[in-house]
Structure 1
Amino acid sequence: MIHTVNHVTHDGADTLSGELFSRLFSLAAPAALALMIAAPAIAQDLPPALRALQADGLEILGPLKAPAGIQAWAARAGSHPVALYAAPDGQHVIAGTLLDKDGNDLTREPLQAATAPSISSDLWKQLETATWLADGKPDAARIVYVFTDPNCPYCAKFWTDARPWVDAGRVQLRHVIVGMLTPTSPGKAAALLSAPDPAKALYDYEARQGAGVAAQMAAGRVRPVNDEALKPLDPIPADIQGKLLANMAVMQAWSLRATPAFVWRDDKGQIRQRTGMPPSEIESVLGARP
């Protein structure tokens, strides 16, 4: 089954608060950024400065743990967490990292705890509507999203290692195809997505890699997969290029930078993620071995 990502964009505003929100939206992590905002005093729970940001689209999630005497809130700009600390006058807030006298970060852990559930839930929805290729039964108890590059030998090894779970009907792998490892990766990824039956094309392709990749790993000479039977597309059709770019955007939103990378829900329903799959960790992702 193939699904296509739907894009949501933020239109830049020409107000002062809109410009500041746009800057916040671009942050990959909290940074020391002072937000000097003069706003009308509104008799509500949040200081006026936070009201201005909230009206412009910043999502305030709730209070953030902070030392006594400091008011703080956890917020998110898209998938990026933001910590906000209020000045006593309520007219100004500072977005960034709070340090104690010894230089210890007092923001990272509380902000992660306050924002991770909301951000992960939204990113999971992006995965559900991304362009992925299903491997396994649709009614499997566990769904695991795998960011897969066709030239990635470790992706091929994981595909082989996962066969017992997939064949037993316990796990459905959803391969989010990306092309990032070598110059031919985008073209080969496009060739898979352009096949008459993309899921079967991926299955057949990965099945061919097992013995060769295993031999390389045993010899300690791991190289990118070189399967000449899969011809890279050149040029890549615009619609397929759009899907590959969208898949990369989803991967980057999860802050995943290498393949294979995994996102799944554990037995308690908590969303987890990791990069790479050493044999000792496979059951933590796929569940008990069949």
Structure 2
Amino acid sequence: MPIRLPANISSRQIPVVAGALLTLATAGAFAEGYPKAVQQLEDRGAEIVGEFDAPGGMKGYVGEMQGRPMSAFLTADGKHVIIGTLLAEDGTNISQEQVEKLLMEPRFAEAWSKLEDSDWVGDGSDEAEVVLYTFTDPNCPYCYRFREMADPWIESGKVQLRHILVGILKEDSAPKAATILAADDPESALRQHHENYEDGGIEVDRSVVSQTYNDVMANGELMSSLGLQATPSTFYRNAEGKIAMKPGVPNPKDLETMMGGPRP
């Protein structure tokens, strides 16, 4: 997650740390397990998932605090820990690189199999070279916009967009999602909904909602378990084959990256 630093910080300073400095004196530099200063973070609710060698003789740690990614740095004396973002003098965001490597990449790789096993609706050719999973609320205007932007790749057969339908925005979001999932041809129902989105989308069929309502709820639980709060949130493989996630409507450059190439 990008962090804006004060404009008065000079790039000539020693790698900058933006965040809170916890002065945590300890009786011994290194106890069993993590150093005592780092254990203070755990005592405050942090979950450490990995560590790395940081500049200046420091040791870096990556984890989560209150559901948010965090990085922390143990000073060379082993007695103090700094929470925040570490920048090199050339502008490299050392914290972000390590958060992505140690926290986000493993999490997204694990998430991919869960997405595959979820109740999704295919949008595009089953033979498409590129597959994306996107959490979609039937009433989400940004989901509608994203689908419009992706249309050239989908229609060309290059991309299949797999919609994991959730109901989080309006009272009829879940019933609409359940109606689509319960249709004899969910893909056609989804297209019908999209084509009529500006007129309210698909009409809820109360006679079938109960058949798939629990599936919609399960999709919502999956979304929450991945720490996502808004639609669309889209998972894809980047050029290196690693799983990445893009929240919201992508800009044109990001869209080409997600779709695996330029607009057909």
Normalising by structure 2, we get a TM-score of 0.64
Change (3 A) 1:108 1:138: same
- Which residue of the partner structure matches residue 25 of structure 1? none
More displaced stretch, 234-243 vs 124-133:
234-243
Choose which of 258, 267, 275 in structure 1 pairs with 2:239.
267
1:126 is aligned, of 111, 114, 117, to: 114
Q: 1:83 aligns with which of 46, 49, 71?
A: 71
Amino acid at match of 1:226: G
How far apart are 1:94 and its partner, in Å? 4.8
* Counterpart residue type for residue 115 of structure 2: L
Alignment match, 1:182: 170
- Distance across 1 between alignment mates of 2:58 and 2:72: 10
How has the CA–CA distance of structure 1 residues 76 and 138 changed in structure 2, closer, same or farther, with 3 Å as cutoff?
farther
Distance 2:169 2:155 in 1: 28
Q: Which amino acid aligns with 2:193?
A: Y
Gaps of 5+ in 2: 1-18, 88-92
Q: Is it true that 1:242 corresponds to 2:217 in the alignment?
A: yes
> 1: CA distance between counterparts of 2:26 and 2:130?
47
Amino acid at match of 2:220: L
With structure 1 as the length reference, what TM-score do the two structures score? Answer: 0.59
Which residue of structure 2 aligns with residue 112 of structure 1?
A: 99
Distance in 2 of aligned mates of 1:139 and 1:38: 62
Q: Which residue of the other structure, out of 207, 213, 227, is the alignment partner of 2:195? A: 207
On the 8 A contact 2:70/2:84 being kept in 1, the answer is no
RMSD over equivalenced CA pairs, Å: 4.4
Paired position in structure 1 for 2:61: 73
Shift of 1:48: 7.4
Consecutive unaligned residues in structure 1, runs of 5 or more: 1-29, 101-105, 214-224
The alignment partner of 1:72 has SS state of: strand
**2:200 paired residue number:** 226
Q: What are the residue-to-residue correspondences of 1:248-287 with 2, within 5 Å? A: 248-250=223-225, 253=227, 255=228, 257=230, 259-270=231-242, 271-277=244-250, 282-286=255-259, 287=261
CA drift at 1:228: 5.9
- Work out the number of aligned pairs and report it: 234
Residue 145 of structure 1 deviates from its aligned partner by: 1.7
Secondary structure at the aligned position of 2:153 is classed as: helix
How high is the sequence identity, in percent, across the aligned residues?
A: 27
Letter of the aligned partner of 2:107 in structure 1? I
**Residue 124 (structure 2) aligns with:** 136
More strand by share: 2
Amino acid at match of 1:175: H
